[in-house]
Structure 1
């Protein structure tokens, strides 16, 4: 995700001949009433959660009783670091969805209707019926007194639309800002202090030229608030940057960026190139051979026209270049047709590389208008 993309809770039955422990559940899984449970380590959107579960021969959790719901909450969701607002954090995806028939929730794995339900007050989407058609997946969270499930708007359902990320009433401006800060795809928010109404504004296919006032100009009395860089991101001249935690291929890096409404970095100046290098790539453990490590993907590519490099997100041609000596593939022209993706070296210079190479990557967002 985050968008905010909830952590996932997985479940599978004990009936399998390949259990590692004599007690039944594999290492890292916990048992309750004959089932094994495991909470994923990363936040993802609902479809990705299904995929992660399948990789472990399991499925998104299906809750059949109050006791099971309370055990899941106490075991996986209660945390001293959780915020006081249960909609904001410490939640997890369940298998509940109404993707096939709007308003008719079923469990994803078994395709069974609900024999037990534990919806939070005003859910599913009773308080915001206009958003019900896009809130197709369900989360599980603690409310400090009982356990509830609530329908959550999936991030990818609202990209390329004018629909708000969230539309809340009865919240303070500070709480509204917290909601936006917790959503990777929230660019800013509109707030009406008299009505205490809070509307989250998403990037909308990462169109950083969109203006908050234009996006919701029909909402009277609402003032726009611009979001800054999120936790884990660093600011440079009105842009936010983040280095991914895994090495991936260039195409995979693009996918990772879209999950957090960002794009592969596009470098406009020598100052930006040098800053990226010193901030994300300089490391005392780097090899002395510049081509081997401490490099990262940028948005450069010539996938469409061989030899004509452009920036992937903006599709813009290069107004500034900082190629390493002998690049792009000037010293090895026979290899140029297979070197279609760009990377940045320590020192800020650029290189073209085969797109299947596994590399770090630098994300970029622009919040300023």
Structure 2
């Protein structure tokens, strides 16, 4: 009598295998190594639909490195360990003599033209794609400008790769903003704040939900709500300006609310803007992380005295890591206090711009 064919193995089902591969860690070489198993695995992993699902599943891309900003340009420093350490050569900035790096978000970097704000450049280091965005001539009353790039969520049913640029400028106690869409190739209407505020700082912005936040030089925060097309200032916690002396970075805090990280001497404080039962938003100190290991021994006089002794240089877009300048170098600190590693030697600089992306080797 004939024998029944053996039942199919679970991994013989392409849909089930794709679901398993989807759960591989989003490290740069993970999919590469999996693709070497066989031609079938390689076919599944090379499918563009799989890459879109993988990005949606993991949501927060890994930090691949950081751009260190200098007076005359910026340099990319990978932070991963081998074999997941991306090559720095592939992240060389376009023509540092002509462009100034403003920040990174959603796999893109945003640069402005030198010497003035005549053009913005949206650059994708992974693909090499570049797109220039022209700015209108600014009035003489403008004292400070800032801008940030935003990737459009897939849920908006727009073309993959589309983006927006939020541009804000301040002067004479007023603030204005407008948003560029790559879908239309045009700037939206000019949005003006209804209340007076200070000038916008050059520190990186924070994106929380559908709102972008910038620090102001007098210690306040400027909120641009994209959906409501509203621009308004808000306050930081009482005495935050005197407590941290501007040694703070805005970020998205846990549970998807606005937060910031502030450093006072050898302590890192994590704040969040939470709503109470009445719906009133208040600032709450959630966590304090001891940075005492960065202090020099009592009997040792360091060769270089830094003021402040620890400076927060940046926070990744997922709000998971802070980058700190110390006398021992630049360190990457996970905000749960678990991971701490040195990523570079310290030099005099203002900021670093962490770069996160899903990268397939």
Q: Which has the higher helix share?
A: 1
TM-score, normalised to structure 1, is 0.30
Q: Which has the higher strand share?
A: 2
TM-score, normalised to structure 2, is 0.30
